[in-house]
Structure 1
Amino acid sequence: MIYEVSKVTAARSSSSTMMEKRNSQMNNVTSACIAYTGGFGSYLFGMSEVVAKQSSENNYEENTKNPSLTWLIGFLFVVSFLGLFSVVPLRKIMIVDFKLIYPSGTATAHLINSFHTPQGAKLAKRQVRTLGKFFTFSFLWGLFQWFFTAGDGCGFSSFPSLGLEAYEHKFYFDFSATYVGVGMICPYLINVSLLVGAVISWGLMWPLINLREGDWYPKGLGSSSLHGIQGYRVFIGIAMILGDGLYNFFKVLGHTCFGLYRQVRHRKSQSQLPVSRNSSPEIPQISYDDQRRTHLFLKDQIPMWIAIIGYLVIAAVSIVVLPHIFHQLKWYHITVIYALAPTLAFCNAYGCGLTDWSLASTYGKLAIFIVGAWAGGENGGVLAGLAACGVMMNIVSTASDLMQDFKTGYMTLASPRSMFVSQVIGTAMGCVISPCVFWLFYQAFNDLGQPGSEYPAPYALIYRNMAVLGVEGFAALPRHCLALCYGFFGLAIVINGMRDAVGKEKAKFIPIPMAMAIPFYIGGYFAIDMCVGSLILFVWSKVNKAKAAAFGPAVASGLICGDGIWTLPSSILALAGVKPPICMKFLSRGDNVRVDQILKSS
């Protein structure tokens, strides 16, 4: 450990550019986080008319707000900075006094430290070359696929690789480099859980419920009506997500309360802080490493008055601005949220330090139900709930992310003040870049958010229907859907309880309910892609475990980035009116005969 700190200290003193690169990396990470907390695939896009038409509402005009680049940027600017200021005064307590682990931040720090050795630098260069090779391959593969997508249902993404019957039930491999790469990064259990959920839902439940058409729900509604089969797909998935989220919420809350109790009791039993240099034998001595880290971490203080004034000023601006963006969200709704937000941000940051689990989305869902019911259906409660979800998610998520990064800075001897400034700059960048990228997609793809499209945005509909459920109650559900929701809500809690009861070794054989719920609405095709990614990594690990561990993340990142970057030129081509020249579509033998007969007769 002393060697590790000395190594980082030497690197820090020998090159100021290393700190600049680290701060630039912080900017990039913080900017990218806005893409998640911004809700472009969930609560914000759930406000749009595209998603509202798929919902179960009758009169949705009062509860819709179509995306606009102006209000998207304005909304993110007034809600994304509060979380940063809410936990800044607690950084010493969380990291130095309580010594919270923050596993992701610690792992990132060890990775950064390892790069500043001759062996680490050499490995990093090889990893970058590998990433570049697969980035190029993924980009060119996306370009190749584009030529065959001239119409709906065309291209390799609609290849019925497991048969036409399986394709109708959303079971096929769609040749997505992104999902294969994600599957290589995600743990095996996540990918298997997704596949289990797909088999339970699309393999068993939906075919059986389809047989009850005309009894449980009216005939002829189609597959997109929430009063028909789609209602079961969406709301049962929501029930599992809520069951998993609430279980983990109370689990982390219990860890938080118990941890705080132990910290308070420990302090009462000692007259000195844990970081004291007192030589009393009752107080454990801290190592040279921790002394060095603590000294540098506390050297650049961020004055508390800056945090308090910053929070109050931004809160005051938000209370004035947000009701102009969403007139359904009143000033007193926002005031109550901001009064509770610091406490909830502390709970999320503390719980994340103990368990590495951020419950930002769960806090957001609670805000949906509370504010939506408070506003009422006649007063735009659906839109108010979704907007409140965004406010709450941004506050608690940025708070836990900041603490994770402070932990990384503590371990790598980075200046906390410069890290905070980097967070602010990165957040400002994200508030502009993320909406612009989303706006490019929104303008380029006319079917964005539609079921069966290339970008179906399933969570947008899920979040909107949560808001509808909170405002209108259970009247919107089709027959027996509520009973099934209760069952799967309880099943999620039972499965989580079993996972905690059997221990970590045996829990890896029990699927995760949150992952199981995702295919209930989307289908199993992406789960198959991700399982292919897991299979590739598994076989690679059997052949050469060390090489797979070193280069597997680089290969996965290259696949994801190349496919993701290709969407930008494809969006530009779509905006310019350039269409692919070929439609590659797959038909059954009977359909092919009928098509040939039509072509011959024409």
Structure 2
Amino acid sequence: MDQHRRRNEEEAEVENVFNSEEGYDKEKKKKQREREGGGEEEVLSVETAFENKPIPSWRRQLTMRAFVVSFVLSVLFSFIVMKLNLTTGIIPSLNVCAGLLGFFFVKTWTKFLEKFSLLKQTLTRQENTVIQTCVVASSGIAFSGGFGSYLFGLSERIAEQSEDTNHGFKNPSLSWIIGFLFIVSFLVLFSVVPLRKIMIVDFKLTYPSGTATAYLINSFHTIEGAKLAKKQVRTLGKFFSFSFLWGFFQWFFTAGEDDCGFAHFPTFDLQAYKNKFYFDFSATYVGVGMICPYLINISVLVGGILSWGLMWPLIENKEGDWYSKGLDQYSLHGIQGYRVFIAIAIILGDGLYNFFKVLTQTLSGLFHQVRNREMTINLPIADQDSPLISNLSYDDQKRTQLFLKDHIPTWFTIAGYVTIAAVSIFSLPHIIPELQWYYVLVIYICAPTLAFCNAYGCGLTDWSLASTYGKLAIFMIGAWAGSAHSGVVAGLAACGVMMNIVTTASDLSQDFKTGYLTLASPRSMFVSQIIGTAMGCIISPCVFWLFYKAFDDLGLPGSEYPAPLAVVYRNMAKLGVEGFSALPKECLLLCYIFFGSAVVINLMRDTLGKIGSYIPLPMAMAIPFYLGPYFAIDMCVGSLILFVWSKIDKIKADNFGPAVASGLICGEGIWSLPSSILSLAGIKPPICMKFLSRTTNSSVDNFLGSS
């Protein structure tokens, strides 16, 4: 989702696995209590369960099989993320799925080799962490690359929808996209690495998503956890097959260009269908609904009811007064203008509120951390008798030792940052001439600070504000360039530079936390992130290019892949350059109202305590304002399935719900690959299944009878 709030409810599931294990040695736990000064309560140590397992060196954690598996999973996940990007823009966290599938594939590989006595190295949790890091880094480029937002917003197709071709455009091309991503995706890796000790060891930031993923990986490598993982993978495979075959079955009924197939089934009647209220039989979004928290799904549905159920029908009654009659339904001077710009107002209100909220928390937390930080924190970590070590629990002692053992030289990170920045400042204006070198220089001067803020804020709140930083770059650079110097194109390109910086910062910090808790070396994590990023800079553009070439209507309203956020980002850039002069009548007033409402709703959520946690999220409510609520119904069906399942058997729902959801998402997501290939080959579905009203059907029957 554009708002990257990652809530990993799987953490509870993993903790249940640990709590259910009986394999801990009692004597070791006794020693653990003695080490920590005794105590009446028994403290369970994760690392005592792995004491007899040697920790491989950082080079041995980087195996060829790990990167082969990472490549395969990166292709799979890139298709999934790309499909979600180009349909609604709601993207759930796939970290757990990456860790689970990585474990399964390498475990299968090692068992096969073991049968023939060819196994040289067993699978370790460190290698599992390397796979997860590589896959997330690679598939993350499918989001931060802007294929459904700023990058596609540069194209002529989106510019025409925004009635904005006079501000310039740059059509997608595989060569310049790959070059652009390679230039902007690596810089922040070198700026975050020196901060890893401060973030993880000194400040002890939680990074909930990274912590939950680490617990899951640790559990896979225990006896009980491995058994559970095997069952989870089997469940994922079943629902993957079902989802893939369901996508294949639906394809047969989608011949023709408009309103064909199960995806256009008028579930609630034809009038409701006209206002986008229907269940479109998407296994993907049923799965997304099972992963996303209930509140997000309800928020999306509430936004759809408010907009398509109430507001748009009322505004349509103002046709001829607020806007001219007879306009194209997708003209921004008509009803479409209200849909786009009110959605933008809500997104900006929510984004700015949370930006200042997280920034305040970051500065406050940073102040207290620095004030309370002991000077002894910099004592040599290898010294077992140092105050730092002796005051830590056994687990933290071991983790801190190994986390700081494989030191990455500061001179290396500084040299890498300066070199990549110099190359970027020189190269980016050649790729996108509107993005002047001094714009890039200013962004890169601010980059370390912005990267730190986002990484620190994510550690506190599990909330990455990458898209908000990107929107700020759109307005700042766009206004700086101005209309006369293609400010729209410059703003969108600057958004890409900024989003890649802050996204990578938070993702790498999450991965470092995962590595810290699984005893993976920071060097192996850093190398894995670099290799994964390099994979993503090639895989994601190729996947996007396949979609772009296979579907001629990609990005058009009403198509299978409408890329709604591309239109939103383009119009944000247009607003930043032109102001509000082009808005339809009363649209600006409504934008002010909804911008303020987003701020007020967030304030209520933060001040009303437990009651506030039930108030819908403005960012989630904004998405159906432009696109419609049909996918919200799918997501709510997913929530309902999980809710009923939890009532019947909570343990099974907790353990297997994420696997079922991942299977549904992955199966239909990967179906987009053969679907694209069939389209490129000119093979079209044989049947169009369409739904007509009784009156229209009689007219068609009469016409066919008379002919």
TM range (shorter): over 0.9
State the 1:222 CA deviation. Answer: 2.2
1:130 aligns with: 235
State the 1:507 CA deviation. Answer: 2.5
Counterpart residue identity of residue 430, structure 1 = G
Return closer, same or farther for 1:481/1:10 CA change in 2, 3 Å cut-off.
farther
The yes-or-no answer on 1:309 pairing with 2:415 is yes
Q: Measure, in 1, the Cα distance between the counterparts of 2:404 and 2:386.
A: 23
The yes-or-no answer on 1:42 pairing with 2:152 is no
Counterpart residue identity of residue 405, structure 1 = D
- For 1:495-530, what per-residue CA distance to the aligned partner results, in whole angstroms no more than 9, with x for missing partners? 000000012x32332100000000000001000000
- The answer (yes or no) to whether the contact 2:389–2:397 under 8 Å persists in 1 is no
1:239-254 matched pairs, under 5 angstroms: 239-254=345-360
Q: Measure, in 2, the Cα distance between the counterparts of 1:348 and 1:11.
A: 36
Return closer, same or farther for 1:166/1:294 CA change in 2, 3 Å cut-off.
same
Report SS of the residue matched to 2:123: helix
1:313-324 matched pairs, under 5 angstroms: 313-324=419-430
1:272 aligns with: 376
The yes-or-no answer on 1:5 pairing with 2:47 is yes
- The answer (yes or no) to whether the contact 1:178–1:563 under 8 Å persists in 2 is yes
- The answer (yes or no) to whether the contact 2:265–2:279 under 8 Å persists in 1 is yes
2:252 aligns with: 147
- The answer (yes or no) to whether the contact 2:376–2:388 under 8 Å persists in 1 is no
State the 1:306 CA deviation. Answer: 1.2
Report SS of the residue matched to 1:518: helix
The yes-or-no answer on 1:191 pairing with 2:269 is no
- For 1:407-431, what per-residue CA distance to the aligned partner results, in whole angstroms no more than 9, with x for missing partners? 1000110110011000000000000
- The answer (yes or no) to whether the contact 2:459–2:510 under 8 Å persists in 1 is yes
Counterpart residue identity of residue 149, structure 2 = S
1:384 aligns with: 490
2:586 aligns with: 480
State the 1:179 CA deviation. Answer: 0.5
1:107 aligns with: 212
State the 1:281 CA deviation. Answer: 9.8
* Aligned match for 1:348, one of 426, 447, 454: 454
Which of structure 1's runs of 4+ aligned residues deviate more than 4 A? 274-284
Q: Measure, in 2, the Cα distance between the counterparts of 1:526 and 1:583.
A: 22
* Aligned match for 2:285, one of 179, 191, 215: 179
2:571 aligns with: 465
Q: Measure, in 1, the Cα distance between the counterparts of 2:201 and 2:329.
A: 55
State the 1:312 CA deviation. Answer: 0.9
Q: What RMSD, in angstroms, separates the aligned Cα atoms of the two structures?
A: 1.7
Q: What is the percentage of aligned positions where both structures have the same residue?
A: 72
- The answer (yes or no) to whether the contact 2:376–2:387 under 8 Å persists in 1 is no
State the 1:282 CA deviation. Answer: 12
Counterpart residue identity of residue 49, structure 2 = K
- The answer (yes or no) to whether the contact 1:46–1:464 under 8 Å persists in 2 is yes
The yes-or-no answer on 1:23 pairing with 2:130 is yes
Return closer, same or farther for 1:12/1:532 CA change in 2, 3 Å cut-off.
farther
2:676 aligns with: 571
Q: Measure, in 1, the Cα distance between the counterparts of 2:269 and 2:152.
A: 34
Q: Measure, in 2, the Cα distance between the counterparts of 1:469 and 1:8.
A: 57
Q: Measure, in 1, the Cα distance between the counterparts of 2:589 and 2:389.
A: 56
2:470 aligns with: 364
State the 1:61 CA deviation. Answer: 4.8
Q: Measure, in 1, the Cα distance between the counterparts of 2:328 and 2:559.
A: 16
1:81 aligns with: 186
- The answer (yes or no) to whether the contact 2:263–2:279 under 8 Å persists in 1 is yes
Q: Measure, in 1, the Cα distance between the counterparts of 2:689 and 2:663.
A: 27
- The answer (yes or no) to whether the contact 1:8–1:413 under 8 Å persists in 2 is no
- The answer (yes or no) to whether the contact 1:8–1:113 under 8 Å persists in 2 is no
1:298-447 matched pairs, under 5 angstroms: 298-447=404-553
- The answer (yes or no) to whether the contact 2:180–2:428 under 8 Å persists in 1 is yes
Report SS of the residue matched to 1:428: helix
- For 1:19-54, what per-residue CA distance to the aligned partner results, in whole angstroms no more than 9, with x for missing partners? 333312221111010000000000000111111111
Counterpart residue identity of residue 7, structure 1 = A
The yes-or-no answer on 1:163 pairing with 2:269 is yes
- The answer (yes or no) to whether the contact 2:208–2:462 under 8 Å persists in 1 is yes
Q: Measure, in 2, the Cα distance between the counterparts of 1:186 and 1:20.
A: 28
Q: Measure, in 2, the Cα distance between the counterparts of 1:476 and 1:284.
A: 66
- The answer (yes or no) to whether the contact 1:274–1:283 under 8 Å persists in 2 is no
Q: Measure, in 2, the Cα distance between the counterparts of 1:143 and 1:289.
A: 49
1:518 aligns with: 623
Q: Measure, in 2, the Cα distance between the counterparts of 1:430 and 1:2.
A: 39
2:319 aligns with: 213
Report SS of the residue matched to 2:131: helix
Q: Measure, in 2, the Cα distance between the counterparts of 1:175 and 1:472.
A: 41
Runs of 5+ unmatched residues, structure 1? none
- The answer (yes or no) to whether the contact 1:56–1:465 under 8 Å persists in 2 is no
Q: Measure, in 1, the Cα distance between the counterparts of 2:292 and 2:502.
A: 24
* Aligned match for 1:255, one of 347, 351, 361: 361
State the 1:284 CA deviation. Answer: 8.8
The yes-or-no answer on 1:119 pairing with 2:224 is yes
Report SS of the residue matched to 1:218: coil
Tell me: higher relative CO, structure 1 or 2? Use CA pairs within 8 A at least 6 residues apart.
1
- For 1:199-242, what per-residue CA distance to the aligned partner results, in whole angstroms no more than 9, with x for missing partners? 00000000000001111111111220111100100000010011
- The answer (yes or no) to whether the contact 1:174–1:526 under 8 Å persists in 2 is yes
Counterpart residue identity of residue 38, structure 1 = G
Scaled by the length of structure 2, the TM-score of the pair is 0.83
The yes-or-no answer on 1:52 pairing with 2:155 is no
- The answer (yes or no) to whether the contact 1:83–1:397 under 8 Å persists in 2 is no
State the 1:63 CA deviation. Answer: 1.9
Counterpart residue identity of residue 53, structure 1 = E
Report SS of the residue matched to 1:474: coil
Counterpart residue identity of residue 326, structure 1 = I
Moved more, 33-42 or 507-516: 507-516
| Number of corresponding residues | 597
State the 1:280 CA deviation. Answer: 10
1:297 aligns with: 403
Report SS of the residue matched to 1:108: helix
Counterpart residue identity of residue 319, structure 1 = I
Report SS of the residue matched to 1:286: coil
Counterpart residue identity of residue 639, structure 2 = S
- The answer (yes or no) to whether the contact 2:167–2:483 under 8 Å persists in 1 is no
Moved more, 282-291 or 586-595: 282-291
Counterpart residue identity of residue 652, structure 2 = K
Report SS of the residue matched to 2:157: helix
* Aligned match for 2:392, one of 286, 290, 294: 286
Scaled by the length of structure 1, the TM-score of the pair is 0.97
2:36 aligns with: none
Counterpart residue identity of residue 153, structure 2 = G
Q: Measure, in 2, the Cα distance between the counterparts of 1:53 and 1:542.
A: 50
Q: Measure, in 1, the Cα distance between the counterparts of 2:389 and 2:507.
A: 31
Moved more, 12-21 or 511-520: 12-21
